[in-house]
Amino acid sequence: MTAAKCRLCGSDLTQTFVDLGMSPPCESYLEADQLDRGETFYPLHVRICSSCLLVQLPAYLAGEDIFSHYAYFSSYSDSWVAHAKRYVEAAVERLGLDGDSFVVEVASNDGYLLQHVRDRGIRCLGIEPAANIAEVARAKGIDTVCEFLGEVTGTEVAATHGKADLVAANNVFAHVPDIVDFAKGLRALLKDDGTATIEIPHLLRLIDDRLYDTIYHEHYSYLSLITTQRVLAEAGLTVVDVQELSTHGGSLRTWSMPTEHATPQSDRVAQVLRDEREAGLDTVAGHAGFADVVSAARDDLVEFLIAARRDGRTVAGYGAPGKGNTLLNHAGVREDLLDYTVDRSTFKQGMFLPGTHIPIHPPEKLAETRPDYILILPWNLREEITAQLEYTREWGARLVVPLPRLEVF
């Protein structure tokens, strides 16, 4: 069997980071008439490059097969929209953006972020590969180009619309098979003195907090600041600052500029790099042991669900996120342990989770059936969802989060 090649340096990928077995694509929700048909499962075998240390999932699925029509709409999360608004406010102040500025967001989804840019009177453009989602953004008045970003697309967009003062790429950098070409696309979009911001789930937090459900086929790369800098350098971009965020269980927001015009790096860059080196992320050996941690997290969830069933308790889910599908498929959870889940997205309601075939209902289903436990699958939105589910305390429901540690509250 031919070894997979590193998407950053081209070396053979021979070292395993973690192998989660086989799973269907996490956003391949099923209609009722598809339940008796076959599903295609693909490996979730994550490797680490011995040469450049990029942790990555080989491209078992092409980006076009995942993102051309997509099931995730950012605006269904109130806290995520609020996060985007805070980002826009901070970027406007930091960079002095005004009516003469131009902002581009890559993977702009349904306009959840650019609506805040538009409302400030700043010209903006979205680049979104999913046609169904781009149409929703346009309906909101957000000018959107329906394309995948690479160097060619970035050059063409810049030639048509002009180069940007700010390019935002929030939670997309890990989603591209050709990460170097994507980075070159960012550079092509930028003015020579422009700034690109990238938000990525932080590999250090994934390891420390057992967040293995963030591994799925649309996440091709699992990034540290060490490896992020290496990718951006290939495109002529230099990280000048970094912020540690609480989103997605722990993320980084990097601020980068074209290398020839980059300002000095902040002390925060040096601090995060020190933290990563102290954790061993500058060596292959420092990434070892994650498989045992994953097995323990899975066992905690399964043991809880089996105990609840034996005690005659009912368990329902809240949310139908991609990460939840990794978790449930890896743990072998089916309807016998989780009756159903609910989701605010009307796109998902009435459908079934891939692999597990657990039905997805509107949130009102919870009040109808009054489950004893509610498993919060998008645990990264714990505070927001806990507030939304306060009414379930009326019948004594208890909430459960599976990660970073199983907790019933």
Asked whether residue 3 is assigned to any structural domain, the reply reads no
Does residue 332 contact residue 22 with C-beta atoms inside 8 Å? no
Q: Assess if residue 389 is contained within a domain.
A: yes
Q: Which residues contact 119 (CB under 8 A, 6 or more apart)?
A: none
Domain that holds residue 214: 67-287
Mean local confidence (pLDDT), 21-35? 95
One domain, residues 274 and 393: no
Give the residue-averaged pLDDT of 55-60: 93
The pLDDT assigned to 78 comes to: 78
Main-chain dihedrals φ then ψ at residue 80, nearest 5 degrees: -70, -40
Strand 42-48, strand 407-408: pairing: unpaired
Q: What is the pLDDT of residues 369-399, one digit of tens each?
A: 999 999 999 999 999 999 999 999 999 999 9
Q: Tell me which of 287, 312, 338 is where a domain ends.
A: 287
Among 77-86, 172-181, 357-366, 383-392, where is mean pLDDT lowest? 77-86
Q: Is the pLDDT of residue 71 over 60?
A: no
Radius of gyration of the chain (CA): 21
Q: Please check whether residues 175 and 297 belong to one and the same domain.
A: no
Dihedral Cα 127, 130, 131, 135, nearest 10 deg: -60
What's the pLDDT score for residue 247? 86
Predicted confidence at residue 304, as pLDDT, reads: 98
The pLDDT assigned to 286 comes to 96
- Give me the pLDDT at residue 62, please: 72
How confident is the model at residue 74, as a pLDDT? 61
Using 50, 70 and 90 to split pLDDT, how confident is the model at 249? Answer: confident
Summary mean pLDDT of the chain = 94
CATH code (residue 308):
3.40.50.720
List CB contacts of 122: < 8 A, sequence separation 6 or more.
92, 97, 98, 99, 101, 102, 103
Comparing C-alpha atoms, which of 210, 214, 216, 247 is closest to residue 403? 210
Mean of pLDDT values over 54-66: 82
Residue 354 dihedral angles phi and psi, to the nearest 5°: -65, 140
Residue after which a domain boundary falls, among 287, 321, 356: 287
Say how many CA atoms lie within 13 Å of 155 toward its Cβ.
Answer: 5
Cβ atoms within 10 A of the Cβ of 365, count?
A: 17
Q: Is residue 179 part of a domain?
A: yes
Q: Is 308 helix (H, G, I), strand (E, B) or coil?
A: helix
Measured from the Cβ of residue 405, the count of other Cβ atoms closer than 10 Å reads 11
Structurally, how many domains does the chain consist of?
Answer: 2
403 within 8 A of 379, measured Cβ to Cβ: yes
Is 73's pLDDT higher than 70?
no
Any domain includes 7: no
**If pLDDT is split at 50, 70 and 90, which confidence band does 76 have?**
low
Give residue 385's pLDDT.
Answer: 96
pLDDT-above-70 percentage for the chain: 96
**In terms of domains, do 271 and 242 share one?**
yes
Q: Which pTM was predicted?
A: 0.89
Domain boundary among 253, 287, 321: 287
Q: What is the mean pLDDT of residues 47-72?
A: 80
| Confidence class for position 365, pLDDT limits 50, 70, 90 | very high
Residue 1 lies in a domain: no
d(CA 407, CA 400): 6
Instruction: Select from 21, 22, 24 the least CA-distant residue to 352.
Output: 24
Nearest to 352, CA basis, from 362, 360, 363: 360
Evaluate whether residue 321 is within a structural domain.
yes
Which pLDDT band holds residue 408 (cuts at 50, 70, 90)?
very high
pLDDT at 47: 97
Is residue 404 included in any domain, yes or no? yes
109-133 residue pLDDT tens: 999 999 999 999 999 999 999 999 9
- Indicate the pLDDT class of residue 68, thresholds 50, 70 and 90: low
Mean pLDDT of 50-71: 78
pLDDT exceeds 80 at position 66: no
Same domain, 214 and 297: no
pLDDT single digits (tens) 126-174: 999 999 999 999 999 999 999 999 999 999 999 999 999 999 999 999 9
Residue 185 has pLDDT above 80, yes or no: yes
Residue 64 has pLDDT above 90, yes or no: no
| Cα–Cα separations (whole angstroms), residue 139 to 136, 187, 324 | 5, 29, 30
Report the pLDDT value the prediction gives residue 248, as an integer from 0 to 100. Answer: 81
Q: Is 5 part of a structural domain of the chain? A: no
What is the number of residues in the chain?
A: 409
